[in-house]
Amino acid sequence: MNITQQSDNLRAHIAGHAKDFKLSWIQLGQGLYSVWRDKLYQSWEFEKFEDYVTRELGLKKPLALKLVKTYFFVEQDEPVYLKKEFAEVRETVNIPGYEGLDVLRLARARKELTREDYSKLRKDIFEKGKEASLVRKDLTAIIKERKKVDPEQAREARHEQSVRRLVAALRSFKKDMETLKLAEPDIIEEAEELLKRLEEQHSHDPKAH
């Protein structure tokens, strides 16, 4: 075997070990998920899950829970990742580790994201092997963009809320006046008329719907 062949073999071995390293969390995550789901730690004389992972495994609770949640997410939403063929047909650099998958898990739970947003993040992680930290920044930027509200729209929303509060207050005040006889009939009629006008105006305002 010449030097070139030895070098190529070493390169292939390293790539294989890197794949194994990236995927090694699966077995741990799966085991932790079973322990957490079935409360197996109690039969091992641990009161809490965090007691088990910290005292027996030397893992911090946040990391253990992240592994549990990420494994459950993958099992439910990205089962393809768990198949042996997934790693076999991909370059090492394009195999996401648990941190990238955790970002995808968080993205899946965000209501602000569209299906297209999620698909792009998934592609960055699954196909491009983009770093988890960079995808996390992309996720944060998308969420901020989705939360931006036009100033005029914000004013309209505040106006609508104010009208709703006023209507509710008048309705409650009118009921108290009638029940407890706190005001003259003509005042109650005026309050009822004002309430009716506010409700009609609000119901005919297209911005209120």
Over the stretch 128-186, which tens digit does the pLDDT of each residue have?
888 899 999 999 998 888 776 555 655 666 667 777 777 777 777 767 776 766 667 77
Taking residues 6-22, report their average pLDDT: 86
Nearest to 87 by CA among 19, 140, 155, 148: 19
Q: How confident is the model at residue 206 (pLDDT cuts 50, 70, 90)?
A: very low
Going from N- to C-terminal start, the domains of the chain cover: 1-91, 96-148, 151-208
Q: Where are the alpha helices (DSSP H) in 24-150?
A: 25-38, 40-43, 49-55, 61-77, 84-88, 98-108, 115-126, 132-147
What pLDDT, on the 0 to 100 scale, is given for residue 182? 64
Q: What is the pLDDT of residue 46?
A: 95
Is residue 186 within 8 A of residue 155, CB to CB? The reply is: no
pLDDT band at residue 207 using 50, 70 and 90 as cut-offs = very low
Distances (CA, A) of 32 to 40, 54, 70, 108: 10, 12, 11, 22
What is the mean pLDDT of the segment spanning 65-84? 92
Spatial separation of the C-alpha atoms in residues 85 and 17, rounded to whole Å? 16
- What is the average pLDDT score of the chain? 83
167's tokens: 């209507």
Whole-structure pTM value: 0.65
- % the chain with pLDDT above 70: 86
139: Cβ contacts below 8 Å, ≥ 6 apart: 103, 106, 107, 110, 113, 121
